[in-house]
Amino acid sequence: MQKLIITAALVGAEVMKEDTPHLPVTADEIAAQAEEVREAGASIVHLHVRDENGHPSQDRSLYQEAIEKIQKRTDLIVQVSTGGAVGMSPDERLQPLSLRPEMATLTTGTVNFGREVFMNSPSQLIRFAEEFERYGVRPEFEIFDVGMIANALKLVKDGYFTGHLHFDFVMGVPGAIPATAENLLHLIRQLPEGATWTVAGIGRHQLPMAALGVILGGHVRVGLEDNIYYRKGELATNARLVERVVRIAGELERKVATPDEARQMLHLTKSRFY
């Protein structure tokens, strides 16, 4: 099996400081936790940012500040979000792409998201794909439901993306694909030869889906964006969530990738802009 790539989703757009004091919201807090998860074994940081009130934002300069601080302290792959928060406009969501980050997420379909709808219409997908092409940013396709894989492969067929393909299965969002082993196997079977995948379980599904990712030869995403608990009733920190995945991988004799090893596996070119 390939070495395990661990992504730390440190912040997200839904969890607030009131939910957990461990959530990093300022650029300094984000960079400090990036350093902690790097030490714990993560090789990618999935990045959202917050404004001065702690609210989700896709502001280009806030991303720039956070990325510069992360890159001063770590060699992590920085993967910015183009998902942002539900209700944000495409223009708002696309802002961090112009920073030419090493990687960015691209959700390839519309999905119910709790009580709301996460909009990614077909015409919007083309607009997003054109912006990825324009800035030369490598995508991680965010797959919240099975049809989104076909949508991603259509963008590939239409020539928007070439080269290595990497997918993240986000499983267990209320309204989207349930986090079960059967569903994970079904998602994996849809992928083209040579593609890589990560699994991100939401809430209490984070731990079992991470274990399945390790066992099945995929990669794993954990972090407070997806789950704030270490176990029932006990709040987690980003570092502890990563440390636990490293321990599971160790018991199963799966080695953990460094950021540079992950770059090779995902065919990325290192980009640092400070």
Q: Look up residue 144 and give its DSSP letter.
A: S
Length of the chain, in residues: 274
CB of 14 to ligand KMH, least distance (A): 6
85 binds, among ligand KMH, Zn ion, none (CB under 5 to 8 A by kind): ligand KMH
Q: Nearer to ligand KMH by C-beta: 85 or 249?
A: 85
Q: Nearer to Zn ion by C-beta: 200 or 254?
A: 200
CB of 60 to ligand KMH, least distance (A): 16
The residue sitting closest to ligand KMH, measured at its beta carbon, is 83
Q: Which residue from 105, 110, 120, 238 is in contact with ligand KMH, where contact means CB under 6 A? A: 105
The residue sitting closest to Zn ion, measured at its beta carbon, is 81
The β-bridge relationship of strands 77-80 and 44-47 is parallel
Q: Nearer to Zn ion by C-beta: 22 or 93?
A: 93
- Which of the residues 59 through 98 are near ligand KMH (CB under 6 A)? 81-83, 85-86
Q: Nearer to ligand KMH by C-beta: 119 or 216?
A: 119
CB of 2 to Zn ion, least distance (A): 23
Q: Where are the alpha helices (DSSP H) in 86-196?
A: 90-94, 122-135, 147-157, 181-189
CB of 176 to Zn ion, least distance (A): 13
CB of 251 to ligand KMH, least distance (A): 30
Q: Are 110 and 119 in contact (CB under 8 A)?
A: yes
Nearest Cα residue to 224 out of 21, 59, 3, 23: 23
Other beta carbons within 10 angstroms of residue 24's beta carbon come to 22
Q: Which residue from 36, 102, 131, 142 is in contact with ligand KMH, where contact means CB under 6 A? A: 142
Q: Nearer to Zn ion by C-beta: 109 or 254?
A: 109
Q: Which long-range contacts (CB under 8 A, 24 or more apart) does 152-156 make?
A: 152/106, 152/108, 153/192, 155/108, 155/125, 155/126, 155/129
Q: Treating both helix axes as pointing N-terminal to C-terminal, what angle do 238-251 and 206-216 enclose, rounded to 10 degrees?
A: 40
Nearest Cα residue to 67 out of 99, 37, 98, 104: 99
Q: Nearer to Zn ion by C-beta: 238 or 254?
A: 238
Element containing residue 61 per DSSP (H, E): helix 60-73
Should residue 6 be labelled a site residue for ligand KMH when binding is judged by CB under 6 A? Answer: no
240: tokens are 């502890």
Which residues are at the interface with ligand KMH (CB under 6 A)? 12-13, 81-83, 85-86, 105, 107, 113, 118, 142
